[in-house]
Amino acid sequence: MSDAPEVKPPVVTPVRVVIALCLVAPFVAMLWVSSYAKTDPTFIGIPFFYWYQMAWVLISTALTMTAYQLWQRDQRARKARKDGASA
């Protein structure tokens, strides 16, 4: 009776869980301030509080790039399965 398209629930796959973890990890690391609110150990004279945050800039970049690559691979695989099923 209704012309509305059928809405499927989101699919949770292991790849998507890894993507979510890659994107959530930097937020957890930066919001858990008590884990890095100290001065020791220092790195080339820079207190831990500062170099820990700067390290997470690089780590976050790597994790975001990994999540993006996994997402692209997942989308290509889903499209290939969809095209293969309709053919």
- What distance, in Å, lies between the first and last C-alpha atoms of the chain? 28
In the chain, where the domains are located: 33-79
**Degrees, nearest 5: CA angle 70-27-65:** 25
pLDDT at 3: 73
CB of 63 within 8 A of CB of 23? yes
- Report the alpha-carbon distance of residue 2 to residue 6 in Å, rounded: 10
* 33 DSSP assignment: G
Reading the chain (87 residues) residue by residue, the pLDDT tens digits are 567 777 777 788 899 999 999 999 999 999 999 988 898 998 999 999 999 999 999 999 999 999 999 999 999 988 888 887 765
Q: Which amino acid is at 47?
A: P
pLDDT at 49: 92
pLDDT at 72: 96
- pTM score, whole prediction: 0.79
